Structure 1
Amino acid sequence: MVRKKNKNVSNLRGRQLIAHENPKSPIAEQFRTIRTNLQFTSVDTDLETMLVTSASPSEGKSITTANTAVVFAQQGKKTLLVDADMRKPTIHYTFRVDNTKGLSNYLVKSHLVTELASKTDVEHLDVIPCGPIPPNPSELLGSDKMKSFIKEAKKTYDVVIFDMPPVLAVADAQVLSNAVDGVLLVVRSKQTEKEAIQKAKEQLDQTKANILGVVLNDQDIKSSNYYYYYGQ
């Protein structure tokens, strides 16, 4: 069983895995560009673990995380996507996997990472859903058991990506941020306020997080030169 680069990700609707379903589309190409830029930020060391978060809710964080995981898998890297949003999990919906067991089970009981991982329709990509929602997510994410999870996952997978709750909503992303190689921050065009982005960055800086970059989600594709290029 199983520094700073800004890129636009446009018009994502629903829980669409566009990088898998329409890999030749301009949006899928943007996800591949994000992947390349992430790899350039850690040119001297391999990017093995990362988390994706946002400043506030409803900014397209989870679907951005899922598509980013897809493009890493498409590169031939054995990739694990972990739903570490143990408050409002969505990965099991996106990939249509059972959520009766997941990350929370590992953190409170004895399980192997491979026992909890589910294969997906994307070659080289496995997912671990949230599992039953616990009453104390922050404490679990900051535990020694979580460190053991990361260590074990790295033995099996080339890339481990965590989907986390928004920074300004709860402390979960901050708790895990210095246990991974880097953090990717998602913001939504015309919705996320500048002050919220600045505050989110400040909170991540407080934990000495390695902020890899920012993804600008839902940018109007018609206004970009990228659209012009692909429209010819």
Structure 2
Amino acid sequence: MESKSKNGRNLITITNPRSPISESYRTLRTNIDFSSIDEQVQIIMVTSAGPGEGKSTTISNLAVTYAQTERRVVLIDADMRRPTAHHTFQMSNRHGLSSILAQQATYHEIIQDTDIPNLQVLTSGPIPPNPAEMMASRRMSVLLNELRQNYDIILIDTPPLLAVTDPQIIASKSDGVIIVVDYGSVKKDAAMKAKANLENVNARILGVVMNNVKRKSGESGYYYYYYGQGDQA
């Protein structure tokens, strides 16, 4: 396993843990925890309706906040078309999730440490010709079951819901889904279609993160994360 000392993406939960934005991530984590009083929420998928809405930033910061509670956390980059986790955490993507699903390696061999205690990352690996088939494979189900035995929280970053079928496949294997919505750009019908796609596979929608909400005058440039019920998407 490989340890990295610098972060490629500015993770505010590390660089400014006392900021209002970092507190919003902790609130999101707490709300997810409280949503699972009666049912286990261990595998959490994070997605969006379209590209550029902030899902990868959200999942990376959420992973940090979970790790800060001393839970063992793994972040899986399952966006095999536009992977970002290896850039965020400045690590190699020579081997990753696709390598495991192609039976070229085990996760023990290629999972990587970050400089954040309790947080490890499974990058996407080489981009395969058949991502959707890989996500639907029995091997993916086996991998997730193995990870359940070794981690408290498993976070999965997927492609946007309206672009490909991969997220719906992963949602059916997850305990819950968070949808990230760019408040300033996403159309309501796109958000509703994304929600419907998840409901079609009986996914459990834990909530919606509203991104780029204007909090008050002078702060519109900041990200702001809001946790709400799934029916508010």
Same fold (TM over 0.5): yes
For the Cα contact (< 8 Å) 2:9–2:89, is it kept in 1?
no
**Between Structure 1 and Structure 2, which shows a larger proportion of helix residues?**
1
1:38 corresponds to 2:32: yes
What is the identity, as a one-letter code, of the residue corresponding to 1:51? M
- The structure 2 residue matched to 1:142, chosen from 122, 136, 139, is 136
Which residue matches 2:64? Answer: 70
What is the identity, as a one-letter code, of the residue corresponding to 1:44? D
> Distance in 1 between the 2:186 and 2:86 partners?
26
Greater relative contact order, per chain length (Cα 8 Å cut-off, separation 6+): 1
1:211 corresponds to 2:202: no
- Deviant stretches of 4+, over 2 Å: 221-224
> Distance in 2 between the 1:149 and 1:111 partners?
12
SS of the equivalent of 1:221 reads coil
1:172-196 superposed Cα distances (whole Å, 9 cap, x missing partner): 1001111110000000011011000
> Distance in 2 between the 1:33 and 1:140 partners?
34
Aligned length: 214
1:1-45 superposed Cα distances (whole Å, 9 cap, x missing partner): 58xxxxxxxxxxx93211112111110000000000111111113
1:92 corresponds to 2:83: no
Q: Percent identity?
A: 45
- The structure 1 residue matched to 2:125, chosen from 128, 131, 156, is 131
- Cα deviation for residue 109 of structure 1 reads 1.3
SS of the equivalent of 2:52 reads coil
Which residue matches 2:46? Answer: 52
What is the identity, as a one-letter code, of the residue corresponding to 2:111? A
1:188 corresponds to 2:206: no
What is the identity, as a one-letter code, of the residue corresponding to 1:79? V
TM-score after normalising by structure 1: 0.89
TM-score after normalising by structure 2: 0.88
Which residue matches 1:61? Answer: 55
1:39-62 superposed Cα distances (whole Å, 9 cap, x missing partner): 111111332101100000110111
Instruction: Name structure 2 gaps, 5 residues minimum.
Output: 3-7, 223-233
Cα RMSD for the two superposed structures: 1.6
What is the identity, as a one-letter code, of the residue corresponding to 1:210? R
1:222 corresponds to 2:216: yes
- Cα deviation for residue 223 of structure 1 reads 5.4
- The structure 2 residue matched to 1:201, chosen from 195, 202, 225, is 195
- The structure 2 residue matched to 1:159, chosen from 153, 164, 168, is 153
